[in-house]
Amino acid sequence: MAETPRPSPLAADRRRRSVARGDTRGATQKATIHLVAEKADVAISTVSRVINGRCVSAALKDRVQRVIDELGYSPSVAAQSLAQRRTGCIGLAVNSTQSLWFSQILAGLEEALAPSKKSLILASLVLENRFDPSTVLAWVLEGRVDGLILVRYSQRDRPLLDAAAKAGLPVALMTPDVSAPADFTVRSDNVNAGRLVAEHLARLGHREVAFAGGPAESLDTRHRLQGLEAGLRAHGILLAPERVWFAPAYARESGIQYAEAFLRLSPSERATAVVLGNDAMAIGFMRTVIQSGLSVPGSVSVVGFDGTRDGEQVWPGLTTVVQPTQRMAIALGQALLESIEKRQPDRNTSAEFAVELLVRESTAAPRRQ
């Protein structure tokens, strides 16, 4: 049987130089890191360093980049992640995804992560009213994410934080309910948020104010109450202890529950203004008292927190304190990416964002008796 002729060394060298020149006659050449290295006359490791932003001289970087642009080479994100022992995924854990507030967080994180080409994977920690962190814990223990974001972190989430710390996994916290060590924490200025509400209600003439917050252990709730009390005191108004109430969750159902208790009071016992833990609670409260025959703001003025679009889609429009949720999420995502790139978590960095009061139709001067 005759041997298959082998190409001569001269022909092979001619073909190699043809490829290096970008001559694709007779074949379609796909740009690869090998081709970039050959055309730039550098090692493949040098091309890799340029692509990953590592230390390379300016002249060498320019030379390699010109070849990359000329060939239209696009590095494989999957290959990069594999080489760096990364998954290309960021884990996002939240109690519930069923709110416009969460959609603002998601929009901000997507914007922050887009340039890095990293994917966001999502898990709810509470399903069918049952807390179950097993999915998120598996992400951490099995090395399936490069970083972890916890929204409204609470004490029951501590095993997740401990597991992430043990794995050396960067962690970012969005408006945590309790203080905890993390690479980056973002929240809004909730003490000032309470003061802004107090100032608004005092100027309208309200002296009988009630506060129905979220969970008693929540930092957001405690700080908003602190600011509200201080702001009212500055106007000689006392927030009576019997008019302070805490809900089990920041949910519309909590607002309804408080409204039912409010309606059981005699008219003389009711506050003329009610400040609720967030917009969802405020809308649940408003709907319930209006259905009972009271008017908002005629019978009671109502204020919420967060500034979600829910508040502009109801009538009367909800007066609320706006926190820049999407900008907060962008800052969170960018900081987490930085921690991932450094590979050495820098714990306990935080940012606090300013808030503003948005006055709508749900607040007015109290009716004179």
Query: What DSSP string describes 13-47?
Result: HHHHHHHHTT--TTSPPPP-HHHHHHHHTS-HHHH
pLDDT number for residue 343? 61
Residue 16 confidence (pLDDT) above 50: no
pTM value is 0.74
Upper half-sphere CA count for residue 315 (Cβ side, 13 Å): 0
Q: Quick check: is 94 in a domain?
A: yes
pLDDT number for residue 117? 82
Q: Quick check: is 364 in a domain?
A: no
Give yes or no: residues 147 and 91 share one domain. yes
| pLDDT-wise least confident of 21-25, 126-130, 274-278 | 21-25
Give yes or no: residues 173 and 92 share one domain. yes
* Contact yes or no for 113/120 (Cβ under 8 A): yes
Give yes or no: residues 261 and 199 share one domain. yes
* Contact yes or no for 274/285 (Cβ under 8 A): yes
Give yes or no: residues 46 and 112 share one domain. no
Q: Quick check: is 20 in a domain?
A: no
Give yes or no: residues 199 and 133 share one domain. no
pLDDT number for residue 363? 98
pLDDT digit string (tens) for 92-122? 999 878 777 888 999 999 999 998 888 899 9
What is the torsional sign of CA 117, 123, 124, 125?
negative
Give yes or no: residues 237 and 346 share one domain. no
pLDDT number for residue 360? 97
Q: Quick check: is 13 in a domain?
A: no
Q: What is the spatial distance between Cα 282 and Cα 250, in angstroms, rounded to a whole number?
A: 10
Number of domains in the chain: 3
Range of the domain at 153: 87-187+325-352
pLDDT digit string (tens) for 250-284? 999 999 999 999 999 999 999 999 999 999 999 99
Please compute the mean of the pLDDT values over residues 163-183 and round it to a whole number.
Answer: 91
Q: Which amino acid is at 224?
A: R
The tokens of 369 are what? 């008796």
Q: What is the spatial distance between Cα 337 and Cα 225, in angstroms, rounded to a whole number?
A: 34
Q: Report the CATH number at residue 59.
A: 1.10.260.40
Q: Quick check: is 263 in a domain?
A: yes
Q: Which residues pair with 302 in a beta bridge?
A: 274
Give yes or no: residues 201 and 348 share one domain. no
Give yes or no: residues 230 and 340 share one domain. no
